Structures are given as C-alpha cells and as structure tokens.
C-alpha cells in the first residue's frame, strides 16, 4: 500500500491539547504538516506546566486560540478558524472525566458550520460494542455514545478512532492494576492469559489520528487501531518481558470470579477500572470482532512504523 498524501494543508484545532494524549496529537499534527491550533482555556492560565507546554507548542509553530466551555461564542469563534477539530478530553475515572463536555463542542461546531471533520475523544474500546459493560465503567461508553449521537444528529462529518490499550497504562506494567511499572517477582495473569489484547504506544495513536483527519477514506467511519504485531495475549506480553529482563516471574492465575469478587468494596474509580480490565482481559472485547484492511489504521497508514511491545518494554529493563 502506498504512503498517503492528501494534498493541501489542513487547519486543525486540538481540544485537550495539554493532556497525556492531546499533547502527542498536537506534536503529530505539526509533524504531519497540518496548520495546528490548540484551544487555550482560561483555567490553563493558572497552571504553570500547562502554560509552559502551550508556549512550547507555539514555539514549534502552533497557534494558541482562546476559548472556554462556559462561553459558547468563544468556542464558535475558535472552531471557525479551522477545518478539523480533534478532541482529546480525558474520559477515565481516576483523572478528570470530561467526556460530556464535548456536547458543548458539538453545539459550537454545528453553529460554526465550516468543520469538515470532527474526531471526538475515543481511542480505547469501541463504545458502540460496549452496551453490556458493567457499571460504573459503563458510564464512559454511554457518554461517548451520547456524543456520537449528537455528532450524527448534527450532520457533522466525523471519524471515530478506537480499538487499543495505551501501552503506558497496560503495557509497561504488564497489565497490573495500581502501578505503571513492571512487577519484580510476581505477576497476576487474568484467566488463562490467552485472550488476545491490542496494545499501542500513545505516540502512535496520535500519529494515526493526524493521518485520519483529512483522509477521505475515513470520513464518517470507525477506524480501528489494531497493529498486527501488537495483538498479544496477556501471557505473550509477560513472556516478552521475561525474555528482555532475563527473569521469570511467579504467575498468579486469577479467575474471573476472583477478579470481580470484591469489586463493590472498592472506590468508584477502581470499580470502573476493574470493569474495563474484565471486558478486555476476560471477554476479549478488543479482538472479538473482525476488522477489514480498509478500517484498520496500520493497514491504511503503513508508513507509520509503530512501536512493537518488545521495543516499548526495553526502556524498563
């Protein structure tokens, strides 16, 4: 498949550009040659790290555009300056949970009337396939579907980018809850460890986002990030680490019943996390359906040399 080149420069506004994924999307859009704008919200003005990050983007050539979710017209004005809007609003319970705020963005995009593509904050499990999800984690999927429904009702051209576990949260820690580092001696294995999971480096997710936003092949479609070499079972991920580290870990096989046994005793953010882990590692929600070459990111954009998990894990050795 040939490298993609869709001609003229695209003006893109990144909302949530100072977040973990958002900052990577800004960088990827700049690298892709897009004229990149970043929404600068008033609350950023009292956060030193966010302000430093925003001005580092400006030095790289990005434009800062003031706008607030409490000021509808400011959002409309920001949106009118661009062709494409990408949202990277946080949607995890243990951090800020801002998915519903995007409804205000949808309203602004509809009023502005000029946006050729909107990529809402998705990037993980496909919410359209998660109607059976356990509460309270189901809230994330319900809210993402509410945003999708609003986008489609407004007739806004869109792309939904979904389908993988971020390596920072699921890879480096060998998918252990409560840490971002690999275990030293003992590892919990979910079920028999043989359910297929998809992992992706956040930098690669950002690169795919930057590729899709002006690709005519992806308009009004769901694009799955499912890079072939990163479709691994939990056990395969652990074995990659064992080979790199030269140490075999003691394995504790956790049945589904044991994994869910004390979920109601946990705090709400932890309950949500447990539910998501269950759907990924016990049900296989990321890989229990077929994806065609024309809807899978690594096939659409072979020029993106994505990071394999054996490469990713080397930094922890």
Catalytic residue positions?
144
Euclidean distance between CA atoms 82 and 35, whole angstroms: 9
Euclidean distance between CA atoms 262 and 135, whole angstroms: 14
Tracing tokens 């909302």 back to the chain, one arrives at 15
Q: Minimal CA–CA distance to 84: which of 206, 213, 207, 217?
A: 213
Tracing tokens 């550009």 back to the chain, one arrives at 17
Tracing tokens 């950023």 back to the chain, one arrives at 44
Euclidean distance between CA atoms 107 and 22, whole angstroms: 21
Assigned token pair, 31: 């690298």
Euclidean distance between CA atoms 95 and 145, whole angstroms: 20
Euclidean distance between CA atoms 38 and 2, whole angstroms: 30
**DSSP H helices in the chain:** 22-31, 48-59, 72-79, 102-112, 138-153, 167-170, 202-212, 234-245, 256-260, 268-281, 297-300, 309-312
Rg (CA), the chain: 20
Query: What is the distance between the terminal CA atoms of the chain, rounded to a whole angstrom?
Result: 35
∠51-54-55 over CA atoms, to 5°? 90
Euclidean distance between CA atoms 5 and 69, whole angstroms: 34
Go through the chain and tell me how many residues it has: 317
């Amino acid at each position: 498949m040939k490298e993609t080149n869709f001609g003229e420069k695209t003006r893109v506004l990144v909302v949530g550009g100072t977040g973990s994924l958002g900052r990577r999307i800004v960088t990827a859009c700049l690298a892709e040659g897009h004229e990149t704008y970043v929404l600068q919200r008033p609350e950023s003005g009292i956060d030193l790290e966010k302000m430093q990050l925003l001005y580092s983007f400006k030095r790289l050539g990005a434009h800062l555009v003031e706008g607030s979710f409490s000021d509808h017209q400011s959002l409309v004005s920001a949106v009118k300056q661009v062709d494409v809007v990408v949202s990277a609003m946080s949607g995890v319970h243990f951090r800020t949970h801002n998915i519903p705020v995007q409804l205000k963005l949808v309203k602004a995009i509809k009023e502005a009337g000029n946006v050729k593509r909107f990529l809402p904050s998705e990037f993980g499990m496909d919410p359209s396939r998660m109607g059976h999800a356990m509460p309270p984690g189901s809230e994330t999927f319900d809210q993402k579907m509410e945003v999708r429904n609003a986008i489609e009702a407004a007739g806004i051209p869109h792309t939904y980018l979904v389908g993988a576990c971020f390596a920072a949260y699921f890879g480096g820690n060998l998918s252990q809850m409560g840490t971002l580092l690999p275990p030293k001696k003992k590892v919990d294995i979910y079920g028999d460890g043989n359910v297929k999971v998809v992992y992706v480096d956040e930098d690669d997710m950002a690169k795919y986002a930057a590729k899709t936003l002006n690709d005519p092949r992806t308009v009004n479609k769901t694009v799955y990030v499912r890079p072939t070499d990163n479709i691994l079972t939990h056990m395969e991920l652990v074995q990659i680490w064992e080979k790199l580290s030269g140490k075999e870990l003691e394995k504790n096989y956790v049945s589904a019943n044991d994994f869910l046994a004390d979920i109601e005793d946990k705090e709400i953010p932890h309950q949500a996390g447990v539910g998501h882990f269950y759907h990924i590692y016990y049900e296989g929600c990321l890989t229990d359906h077929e994806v065609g070459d024309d809807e899978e990111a690594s096939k659409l954009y072979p020029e993106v040399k994505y990071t394999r998990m054996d490469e990713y894990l080397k930094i922890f050795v």
